[in-house]
Structure 1
């Protein structure tokens, strides 16, 4: 591990290997004296390394971690292998605990091991097999990229809260009082119970992955969460956008949206959102970093027969819980349906000038943003006399599930069409609001 000079800290010198002596010391040894027993090298435990790693998640520098890792590497033989006595004490936990010491921008809280090979197991034929690389890969695969990013964002929020309200306390392990106050903080900011529960789950994961007792599992914290649920139920008030409402929204674009290009753009986006069960974030950018994660122009493929379009295939590469698994959706053309997404996409692409990048772009080449789509939808809803408080961008997805159920589509098919991983899709079927 390369040494790094840290501000306000002293350099960590390389420790002398156990049993090693200078030349003069060797000569001074009495010829007939018995050699003293060499004390077995002390191998840091997983808890010692984990404590050093996350001793201060608020960003203070500490040389304890460097000392432990230096000691660990110093106890290895010169060829990088672990001696037999050391292998008996060393565990995979020691390697997985080798993390940066800050939650913000670091992987320690989410269980990523270091890139250095600190743990090796000697096989019967004398070769060595690296274990920490495999462990790191398995831990990384335990969370999807979206969940990992969400957990990191939530832990950053928790870190900032603790810096302000518990500056003298360690984040790992946190106390049940710290967790309870953080829940109260989120409640006062009008967070929904389900969102607060997600924050608590992130904190719980941070403790468990670092071999610490989980404070969120206490009776006290559970009762605080129960109080949040009782005082602010998690009822989802969003209503489904049905085919009838979609038809009105598409017709309203000519009266509300300025410019022929933007009208065709929004018509195609709304039709595709409904018939492909899309989330708005799967076709419009929330931030510039999402440019390659929304639907791309190359994700669309049209089928033709005798030079006449017969259908369209949409390739979904990035979606919630995708885990790098691509889904394809085929939509046949329906010339008698004014809401047909195939016709809407053909009309839009006939005047679009771009030939690469995100599917939905303005004439200037800028990708359509999440904010633009939602603000346009709000204007269209107000024009047709519907509340923008009850109908949101996610209402297209809710309406697609509800309409499919009303038409008799089997539940497993609806789940597959909407790319739902769990039975949560049943909450989207709202026949009472149909």
Structure 2
């Protein structure tokens, strides 16, 4: 009526109201609930983009800016998250063109993991913050840290105090991280009392100028400080408060100063607080310590390769949710029907092999159990879900024509390769390195990742100290392997064979050439197998050169891989008549998996027909 009296034209299709809930620029504003909301599909889209980038070491500038754009949209209602866009902006500005690649360093991936941790448990709602500012004095909130005593804080009638851990205080003083000591009680206060600060804009008075700058910018060049800043930011996102800092003189912070110095007479003279909170630096009630420790142990139960495979499975599942326009949070999507649709999506849309689908389902099952949900692949009585197992059988039928079989490298082919590597194919050093590694892999039934490595770690990978060799035998210590789940270590034994494949002879030859070329790298902690460049023998280089040798015989080399040696060793052992139990021991198989490694030739089957016909 007002607009009509004023002769102001209105378009009915563009006019809404009066209402208490309105979508404005993609954000839903609700004046009844006093909250702003982001649609769930946008949250899932951000989670999907984070999953894609956080697993990469490099990405294009276009991909990074796409994610930053989503973050920038979200920070309209997630105010503390703005500070964690600055470093990503800095990374994106390192190149000019959109198709150029930028490097996602450790700091960038940690920032992405912080966003991921928050978004996975966020319901998309944020309460309106109060328009007025409130100081920590108004809240009766004070914290302080004394470098030689401890730390403390007070909030109304509640307070806490504690002594520094010796290692922690030594680290802070060694790195001159005085702001870290001042930051600690602030984070502890947010853990203990953050729920009482909901919707507040709090100005925190602090007597350390450096910490004031860090709190306002939410950035620091110190990785330890950033660990606590991220925790503080996650708490402010969880409890929906916004924290700022203002510098004051230390003399005006007498209450918290008395607590941190444990001057109890002085403390009682300035306050009448009666309730002390029992708290220690590493208390489970503060940082959800036990919860994080449990999650860490869950992840440590998996091998690194399995963790990567499970991460891929969850990422594909989130892509499926986005593809199917399922507007629910991840932990709400593990029902039986959604799992069935996911299997159909993998088979019909992505054309993924059934073995990969089983790996993805294992990732979903593992994630459900880790967050405390029931197993989505089993019934309540423990039996397998019939519908899921039926669809998996269908997937196997679809993929039966596309199976890729690796051919074995048996002793006969390995002998030809060994004769070819006589010092003139790749050079004396390369040939001696390949012959030693090939023969050790063959007779030791080694997996490719057990003697080749992309990033060397002396505590995990083969070193010189792990090899003990004499005239007639040698021993390798595999510190970590697939079936050694507790990392006790497994000894691989080699013995002289006095033929062209003798691992003892080839190891002696390789060690002699290695000592001549890398005398300075012959320490006990140096890698066992080193390329002429000084780098550890990598999987890619090993397979590439192995295929080059095989190609020189006129054989189709792509049918062979590094795992062909393990397959060939099992097949050769079976052909030689070794008992099954011994094959399982040599190959370190705990179940019946060894059966698929034994390749049976057509001549063996033909002989079987002859033998059967004579009975």
Distance 1:228 1:326, change over 3 A: same
1:327 to 483, 487, 490: 490
Q: How far, CA to CA, are the matches of 2:125 and 2:465 in structure 1?
A: 49
CA displacement at 1:279 relative to structure 2: 1.2
Q: Deviations over 1:175-215 (max 9, x none)?
A: 44543454345445553321220111111221233233444
Alpha-carbon distance between aligned partners in 2 of 1:164 and 1:292, rounded to the nearest angstrom: 42
More deviation in 249-258 or 309-318? Answer: 249-258
User: Deviations 1:380-401 (Å, cap 9, x if unpaired)?
Assistant: 2221233224322111101111
Structure 2: how far apart are the matches of 1:216 and 1:256? Answer: 56
**What are the Cα deviations for residues 291-347 of structure 1, in whole angstroms up to 9, with x where unaligned?**
7543222211112xxxxx12111111121132212111221223x311111111111
Deviation at 1:158, TM superposition (A): 3.1
Question: 8 Å contact 2:314–2:364 — kept in the other structure?
Answer: yes
Higher strand share: 2
SS of alignment partner, residue 284 of structure 2: coil
Partner of 2:464: 297
CA–CA distance in 1 between the matches of 2:409 and 2:369? 41
Q: Which residue of 2 aligns with 1:70?
A: none
1:390 aligned onto 2:559: yes
Question: Does residue 366 of structure 2 align to residue 198 of structure 1?
Answer: no
- Of residues 547, 557, 561, the one that matches 1:378 is 547
Q: Which has the higher contact order (CA 8 A, sep 6+)?
A: 1
Quote the residue 1:341 is aligned against: 503
- Could you say which residue in structure 1 is the equivalent of 2:370? 209
Distance 1:58 1:260, change over 3 A: farther
1:349-389 CA distance string (max 9 Å, x none): 11111314221112221112111111112112221233224
What is the aligned length? 328
Distance 2:293 2:538 in 1: 39
Residue 377 of structure 2 is aligned to residue 314 of structure 1? no
Q: Could you say if the C-alpha distance between residues 391 and 132 of structure 1 is closer, same or farther in structure 2, counting changes exceeding 3 Å?
A: closer
- 332, 336, 361: which one pairs with 2:530? 361
CA RMSD, Structure 1 to Structure 2 (Å): 3.8
Distance 1:289 1:271, change over 3 A: closer
Q: For the pair shown, which has the larger CA radius of gyration, 1 or 2?
A: 2
User: Residue 225 of structure 1 corresponds to which residue in structure 2?
Assistant: 392
CA contact (8 A) 1:10 1:63 kept: no
In 2: Cα distance, 1:63 partner to 1:414 partner? 61
Alpha-carbon distance between aligned partners in 2 of 1:426 and 1:235, rounded to the nearest angstrom: 17
Alignment check: 8 A CA contact 2:459 2:479 kept: no
Deviations 1:209-244 (A, max 9, x none): 323344445544333222111111396622221111
Does the CA-based 8 Å contact 2:415-2:501 persist in structure 1?
yes
1:168 aligned residue: 327
Aligned to 1:46: none
SS in 2 for 1:288: coil
SS class of match (1:431): coil
Change (3 A) 1:221 1:63: farther
Cα distance, 1:297–1:207 mapped onto 2, change above 3 Å: same
SS at match of 1:314: strand
Q: Tell me: CA distance 1:252–1:190, structure 2 relative to 1, closer, same or farther (3 Å).
A: farther
> What are the Cα deviations for residues 221-274 of structure 1, in whole angstroms up to 9, with x where unaligned?
333222111111396622221111100111223488422111111111111110
Secondary structure of 1:367's partner?
coil
Preserved contact between residue 309 and residue 359 of structure 2 (Cα < 8 Å):
no
Q: Which residue of 2 aligns with 1:47?
A: none
Do the aligned partners of residues 282 and 168 (structure 1) sit closer, same or farther apart at CA in structure 2, a change above 3 Å counting?
Answer: same
Equivalent in the alignment of 1:147: 306
When the two structures are superposed, what TM-score results if normalisation uses the length of structure 2? 0.47
Q: CA deviation at 1:414?
A: 1.5
Give a deviation string over 1:44-83, Cα, whole Å, max 9, x none: xxxxxxxxx989539887779xxxxxxxxx9xx9899xxx
* Contact 2:456/2:536 (<8 A) preserved: no
1:272 and 2:440 equivalent?
yes
Unaligned ranges ≥5, structure 1: 1-5, 12-52, 65-73, 81-98, 103-114, 120-129, 304-308
Rate the CA distance shift 1:160–1:296 in 2: closer, same or farther, 3 A: farther
Tell me: CA distance 1:209–1:422, structure 2 relative to 1, closer, same or farther (3 Å): same
What corresponds to 2:587 in structure 1? 418
Map of 1:179 onto structure 2: 339
